[in-house]
């Protein structure tokens, strides 16, 4: 069996694609990688919220899926929109890396704590900016985009004192020595899907390939967690430009979902925790979304959309 994989060109994206390639190759599948640049990779001087939050890192790969150039596209699950066009589906989620955010810096004394000195953190994430503004108002933030190596280089040249990043990317690129602090999930609750890879395909892919790929790559427990998280974000109709967050955990056959949303300035927020059965993950996520919206989330979301549209 031959499989063509589409991926972004960054070092981290290529690590992810090669990880998938290696897993498939172990089962005798011949794999060809097709790396490309997406709109999100090319436009680095504009924030994600201004160039459009949905499909920024996926549109070009989806076009290749649709015309049959590739069989599957590999994404960081957090970059994949909560709603896909009807002609595409997520076939598999990889086992999840630790989902925490981390603070990295060349200055090992810098940490987030209750009596912070002021320092500057580089991040383009509205979720991270809002969380910092709420819990650590002394911290200043500056916009920073680009792949992991570009961001670190900008930090090294004085653009900022530290970076807020996903542990998964830092670990996969072997930058463990730069980690100053692993941030608590209950405060820095991650983006939906953070830490996992998603395999996207066109619905027209042959059943033989679908079955083989899924049997090798899909992690059932991760899939349950991400179904709940993604159903929550789908109810909010949110992309990666809104400061929404969700994290699902499984313990003793119980699925627990912690989720919420911040206002852009971090002053207002709604967050909740709900529990459900493993076989009702999407229903739990949908219920969480409905609850968040009913209890102040709708007003926060309306203000976010108003502010983001004003900035575009």
Residues noted as catalytic: 78-79, 127-128, 145, 151, 240
Q: Are 237 and 250 a contacting pair, CB within 8 Å? A: no
Neighbouring-strand partners of residue 158:
none
Q: Are 79 and 10 a contacting pair, CB within 8 Å? A: no
Neighbouring-strand partners of residue 198:
75, 93
Q: Are 200 and 90 a contacting pair, CB within 8 Å? A: yes
DSSP letter, residue 257:
E
The tokens describing 252, both together, are: 């003793």
The tokens describing 233, both together, are: 């974000």
H-type alpha helices, 136-243: 148-156, 167-172, 207-217, 220-236
Residues in contact with 227: Cβ distance below 8 Å, sequence separation at least 6, in sequence order: 281, 282, 285
């Amino acid at each position: 069996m031959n499989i063509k994989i589409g991926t972004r060109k960054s070092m981290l994206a290529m690590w992810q694609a090669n990880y998938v390639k290696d897993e498939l190759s172990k089962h005798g599948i011949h794999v060809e990688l097709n790396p490309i640049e997406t709109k999100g990779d090319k436009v680095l001087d504009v924030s994600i919220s201004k160039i459009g939050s949905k499909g920024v890192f996926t549109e070009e790969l989806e076009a290749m899926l649709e015309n049959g150039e590739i069989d599957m596209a590999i994404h960081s699950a957090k970059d994949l929109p909560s709603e896909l066009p009807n002609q595409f589906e997520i076939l598999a989620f990889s086992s999840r890396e630790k989902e925490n955010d981390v603070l990295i810096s060349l200055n090992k004394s810098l940490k987030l704590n209750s009596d912070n000195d002021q320092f500057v953190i580089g991040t383009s994430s509205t979720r991270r900016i809002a969380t910092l503004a709420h819990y650590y108002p002394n911290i200043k933030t500056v916009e920073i985009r680009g792949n992991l190596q570009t961001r670190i280089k900008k930090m090294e040249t004085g653009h900022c004192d530290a970076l807020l990043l996903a542990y998964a990317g830092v670990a996969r690129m072997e930058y463990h020595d730069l980690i100053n602090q692993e941030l608590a999930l209950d405060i820095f609750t991650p983006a939906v899907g953070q830490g996992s890879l998603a395999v996207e395909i066109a619905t027209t892919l042959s059943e033989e390939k679908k079955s083989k790929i899924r049997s090798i790559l899909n992690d059932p427990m991760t899939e349950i967690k991400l179904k709940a998280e993604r159903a929550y974000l789908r109810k909010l109709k949110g992309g990666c430009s809104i400061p929404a967050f969700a994290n699902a955990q499984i313990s003793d056959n119980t699925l627990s979902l912690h989720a919420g949303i911040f206002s852009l300035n971090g002053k207002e927020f709604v967050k909740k925790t709900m529990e459900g059965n493993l076989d009702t993950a999407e229903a739990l996520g949908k219920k969480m979304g409905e609850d968040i919206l009913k209890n102040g989330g709708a007003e926060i979301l309306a203000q976010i959309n108003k502010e983001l549209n004003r900035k575009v």
